[in-house]
Structure 1
């Protein structure tokens, strides 16, 4: 019991420290970096990297014998994650090519921020830390571990809403999206790159085509995204059954695991 109390106390303290560090210093670090490097994209990456330090320290305190790349699942095959995500999101690319026009002018720095940078850092914060650390190193099950991270992930996207209807839609879509990304991450043998590139491609196609002003989308925008999600799920199920790999998320690991899983 004392071991669990220690883990959760350090985990909560570490995330709280990160939250306020990010809240009070992210913009300042971003502004300083932008003035120094004259690049909005570089400033965005630097600000995210610096404000992540409390989370990295927290993980090392909790599991000092494990290296950070292992704890964040960044030591998994990058090409495998990229290929899987690229194939899985093809329905979005093909569908958007038919139903939407590509935007006429693309700001490369804004595109980088809204696609690769956001996908990379959001997957580290919300999936690798907030969700996976709880699931991998405690007895919490998938839903129990994913709840807090997914609620926070949905909350940070609510600024896009213009009215109560959009707010509800955006909250529901991003909350369920977080659950989906976490499931993909876990079922792809804890390869965070699968979730990162899946997040990246979905953001990329949404950005380069004139789909919607926010994540709530529209009929065709959401239809092809849904088809891609189905394809991704089918690919994972096919791969695991073909290779006789047991599923990570089952009824026995949904809420409370009978034993701790050190992945």
Structure 2
């Protein structure tokens, strides 16, 4: 019992330290590196890298024998993650290509930030640390593990809302999206690259086509996104059943799981 209390205490303290470090210093660090490199994209990456230090330290304290790449689930197959995400998001690419025009106002640095940088770092923070640490190293089940990370993931996207209805829509979409990304991450044997590339391609297609100004989207924007989600689920389920690979998440593991089921 005391071991569990100690684990959760370190986890919470580490995240709170990161949260306030990011809140008060991210923009200053970003501005500092922007003046040095004269690049908003490089500055964004550097600011994220530095503000993530508290999470790296926290993860090593919680699991000192594991490598950083293992703790953040970056030691899995990049090719498998890329292939699943690319094939799975093909309905978005094809559908958006049919129904929307290519944006004529694409800024390369902004595109980099909103696709590569955001996808990589947000998945590390929300999926690998906030959700992955709890699910992999505690007895919390799937729903118990994703609650905090998904709520925070939804909260950081609320700035896109212009009114109360959009706020509700964006919160619901991003919360459920976080749960979906977490399911993929876990069912792919904790391969964070699957979630990173999925996040990347979804953001990329949303950016390069004139779909919508925010994640609330519209009829065709959301239709092809849903088709991509169904396709990804179908691919994972088919592959696991064909190869007789047990599912990580079952009805018995929604709220708690046995010690044997932990990573």
* TM-score normalised by the chain length of structure 2: 0.99
Which position in structure 2 is the counterpart of 1:19?
A: 19
Tell me which residue corresponds to 1:58.
Answer: 58
Name stretches of at least 5 consecutive residues in structure 2 with no aligned partner.
none
Contact kept in structure 1, 2:135 and 2:262, CA below 8 Å: no
Contact 1:153–1:174 at 8 Å: present in 2 too? yes
Question: Which residue in 1 is equivalent to 2:28?
Answer: 28
Q: Which residue matches 2:167?
A: 167
The structure 1 segments of at least 4 consecutive aligned residues displaced by more than 6 Å after TM superposition are none
Residue 79 of structure 2: aligned partner:
79
Q: Residue 46 of structure 2 aligns with which residue?
A: 46
Secondary structure of the corresponding residue to residue 220 of structure 1: helix
Give 3-state SS (helix, strand or coil) of 2:74's partner: coil
Give 3-state SS (helix, strand or coil) of 2:259's partner. Answer: coil
> 3-state DSSP class of the match of 1:172?
helix
The number of residues matched between the two structures is 263
Matched residues in 2 for 1:193 and 1:97: separation? Answer: 25
What is the Cα deviation at residue 105 of structure 1?
2.9
Contact 2:41 2:109 in 1 (8 A): yes
Helix, strand or coil at the partner of 2:102: coil
Per-residue deviation, 1:104: 1.1
Per-residue CA distance 1:27-79 (angstroms, 9 max, x = gap): 00000000000000000000000000000000000110001100111010111
Q: How many angstroms apart in 2 are the aligned matches of 1:260 and 1:154?
A: 31
Unaligned runs of 5+ in 1: none
**1:260 CA drift (Å):** 5.7
Measure, in 1, the Cα distance between the counterparts of 2:96 and 2:229. Answer: 15
Check conservation: 1:103, 1:209, Cα contact below 8 A. Answer: yes
| Alpha-carbon distance in structure 2 between the residues aligned to 1:260 and 1:34 | 47
What value does the CA root-mean-square deviation take over the aligned residues?
Answer: 0.7
CA distance in 1, matches of 2:205, 2:71: 30
**C-alpha distance in 1 between matches for 2:76 and 2:169:** 34
176-185 vs 96-105, greater mean Cα deviation: 96-105
Note if contact 1:91-1:227 (Cα within 8 Å) is conserved in structure 2: yes
Contact 1:21 1:51 in 2 (8 A): yes
TM-score (norm 1): 0.99
Equivalent residue, structure 2, for 1:122: 122
Match in the other structure for 1:179 = 179
CA–CA distance in structure 1, aligned partners of residues 7 and 155 of structure 2: 25
Partner of 2:157: 157
